[in-house]
Amino acid sequence: METKLLKAGDDILDEAAELLRSGGIAAIPTETVYGLAANAYNVEAVRSVFRAKGRPQDNPLILHISSIDMLKDIAVSIRPLALVLAENFWPGPLTMIFPRKPHVPAETCGGLDTAAVRMPRNAFTLALIEKCGFPIAAPSANTSGLPSPTSAVHVYDDMNGKIPLIIDGGECRYGVESTVVCFEDDETVRILRPGAVTPEMLREYCHVVIDSGVLEKLDSGAKVISPGMKYKHYSPSAEVYILKGSDGETANFIKTVNVNKAGFLGNGDEPLPHGVKRLRYGKTPEEQAENLFSSLREADAAGCTEVYVRMPQTEGMGLAVYNRLLRAAGFRVIDAGNCGGKDAL
């Protein structure tokens, strides 16, 4: 199949809407990461998305909407708190989970009786959903397991030949997927996946519980609310390690790395020995979120066999960065000050 790469704009809205209306799929830009879009109500189209990504059938998709009316068509009931959060964070990177109506296909929702819904903040994609008139199911547009795509080129690298259309809307603003929450009661949400809508931001409106799966490794076979959390995720081919420690401890550790080519994601001014490639990361959690996935992809492109990433802070958006990194690293955290160097591990 030939894969077309088109720039987002009013001139391609009709073509993209027609493709989705006829059961086709396309990669779309959002403010979080690129999504692989299908009519959420068309089972065959949704199956094509799972196939193109190689995504496990029980990992549900997020339904992207352009109006509260669309939410009412999906959800059996909507708590007042959900409407307050929608008013304050939509369009934006917050996904909320609702009991789904029977006409929402089980396939879209990984067999669950709930549906995850969000309104994205991207002018083209919002206009596309509006034009289609149905919710768009869209997981991240990467091959399952690989780092999520934050540019159209990343999507092309994974999806060339597998999907008919990639819509290029430039670099994604946040670089990590949306915050996913479910409701404990009328005043409390549980964060299942952290994102750019941080716990601190949500606490302005409600109580917030952070699910243990956000930072802890789940036992195999454990029952989880959000199936996506049990899969190895966001990983390049290179082995990823999280480095915990001060600037000095990190610099000392990195000197002991003895491979042909290693990558390093740090704050940008650490001294690096020969053979260790500096990759973009940053000092603030926002910069780190923006750069993380593209730098992990770049590590593979550069032939790195190992990648070391400095541990982010765990407040604010740092929680989202740390959550993705733990999965990319298979939960391997090295205490740079206390391990006696790479050879001693």
Binding residues for ligand AMP, rule: CB under 6 A, are 59-62, 97, 109, 112, 114-116, 139-140, 177, 180, 192-193, 225-229
CB 81 within 8 A of CB 205: yes
Nearer to ligand AMP among residue 60 and residue 245 (C-beta)? 60
Nearer to ligand AMP among residue 60 and residue 105 (C-beta)? 60
Q: Of ligand AMP, Mg ion, none, which one does residue 288 interact with (CB within 5 to 8 Å by kind)?
A: none
Nearer to ligand AMP among residue 52 and residue 229 (C-beta)? 229
Give the nearest distance from C-beta 109 to ligand AMP in angstroms: 5
As to burial, measured by CB atoms within 10 angstroms (0-12 exposed, 13-18 middle, 19+ buried), residue 77 is exposed
Nearer to ligand AMP among residue 100 and residue 342 (C-beta)? 100
Q: Which of 66, 108, 140, 178 binds Mg ion (CB under 5 A)?
A: 140
3-state secondary structure of 209: strand
Residue whose pair of structure tokens reads 């940008």 in the numeric block? 268
Three-class SS of 167-180? EECCCCCCCCCCEE
Q: Of ligand AMP, Mg ion, none, which one does residue 71 interact with (CB within 5 to 8 Å by kind)?
A: none
Give the nearest distance from C-beta 317 to ligand AMP in angstroms: 16
Give the nearest distance from C-beta 176 to ligand AMP in angstroms: 10
Q: Of ligand AMP, Mg ion, none, which one does residue 116 interact with (CB within 5 to 8 Å by kind)?
A: ligand AMP
Gap between the Cα atoms of 88 and 319, Å rounded: 21
Pairing relation of β-strands 333-335 and 188-193? unpaired
Q: Of ligand AMP, Mg ion, none, which one does residue 225 interact with (CB within 5 to 8 Å by kind)?
A: ligand AMP
Give the nearest distance from C-beta 180 to ligand AMP in angstroms: 5
Gap between the Cα atoms of 69 and 133, Å rounded: 10
Gap between the Cα atoms of 6 and 3, Å rounded: 10
Q: What's the start-to-end Cα distance of the chain, in Å?
A: 46
Q: How far is CA 344 from CA 6, 243, 249, 284, in A?
A: 50, 15, 15, 31
Nearer to Mg ion among residue 178 and residue 250 (C-beta)? 178
Strands (E), 107-212: 114-118, 136-137, 165-168, 179-185, 188-193, 207-210
Longest dimension (CA), the chain: 60
Give the nearest distance from C-beta 87 to ligand AMP in angstroms: 22
Give the nearest distance from C-beta 275 to ligand AMP in angstroms: 34
Nearer to Mg ion among residue 108 and residue 140 (C-beta)? 140
Give the nearest distance from C-beta 291 to Mg ion in angstroms: 18
Nearer to Mg ion among residue 104 and residue 328 (C-beta)? 328
3-state secondary structure of 136: strand
Q: Which of 39, 222, 227, 21 is nearest to 144 (CA)?
A: 227
Question: Is there binding between residue 125 and Mg ion (CB under 5 A)?
Answer: no
Q: Of ligand AMP, Mg ion, none, which one does residue 61 interact with (CB within 5 to 8 Å by kind)?
A: ligand AMP
Q: Which of 54, 51, 82 is nearest to 183 (CA)?
A: 82
Q: Of Mg ion, ligand AMP, none, which one does residue 112 interact with (CB within 5 to 8 Å by kind)?
A: ligand AMP
Report the residue number whose CB is nearest to Mg ion: 140
What is the binding site for Mg ion (CB under 5 A)? 140
